[in-house]
Amino acid sequence: FSPHSNTSWDAAYERELQAFQDVGDTGEIWFGEESMARIIRWLEKQQVPLDSSVLDIGTGNGVLLLELAKSGYRNLTGIDYSPSAIQLSEKVRDKEGMPGIKLKVEDFLAPSAELAGFEICIDKGTFDAISLNPDNAAAKRKQYVRSLCSALKPEGFFLITSCNWTKEELLNEFREGFEILEELPTPKFCFGGRVGNSVTALVFQRK
């Protein structure tokens, strides 16, 4: 199972898209409510302005962007390399009446030129998925960091939630161009992950 091979994720999103069409339910497939609450609490605590540009990397069903919009954030973009995911998040967005959320099919490892100038980038599980790719994962992680450097403004914030990496490992992965601001408190068990996996949630600032 290679999370970055389109087939497996696309199939999962196809199923979720079907479920959403059948019952109008967004599903809790991807990650728990508390991950979203943790991200939003941090932004509010930092008094991040509501018009700051926010990029959700690997937006999935787009639920995090909806929660941000409900909290008053207005400049929201979600990307996913899976067209089914973007289709699903568009349906969810339209049902919730949040037309301001921008959604695009983008591969973060080969981003388009307009994916730049964001003040905040958020990742919950996409870096994990790239890291699990058996096909040259180390090079893909380096490319991820390069993409992040071009997407995020200097001084911008990067919030990452990971089930696969410890704080020390993430500090090492993002040492080029980023400094750690803080570690966010997380529960011991990863939602939807293997039991015993702890969640790591870090906030970096782009140098």
- Residue 153: CB partners within 8 Å, gap ≥ 6? 117, 118, 119, 206
pLDDT at 3 (0 to 100):
47
pLDDT at 134 (0 to 100):
80
Residue span of the structural domain in which 51 resides: 29-206
Yes or no: say if 129 and 119 are a contact pair by the CB < 8 Å rule: no
pLDDT at 133 (0 to 100):
79
**Is residue 64 domain-resident?**
yes
**Is residue 14 domain-resident?**
no
Which residues, given as ranges, of the chain have pLDDT below 70? Answer: 1-9, 13, 15-32, 187-197
pLDDT at 19 (0 to 100):
61
Q: For the CA atoms of the chain, what is the radius of gyration?
A: 16
**Is residue 23 domain-resident?**
no
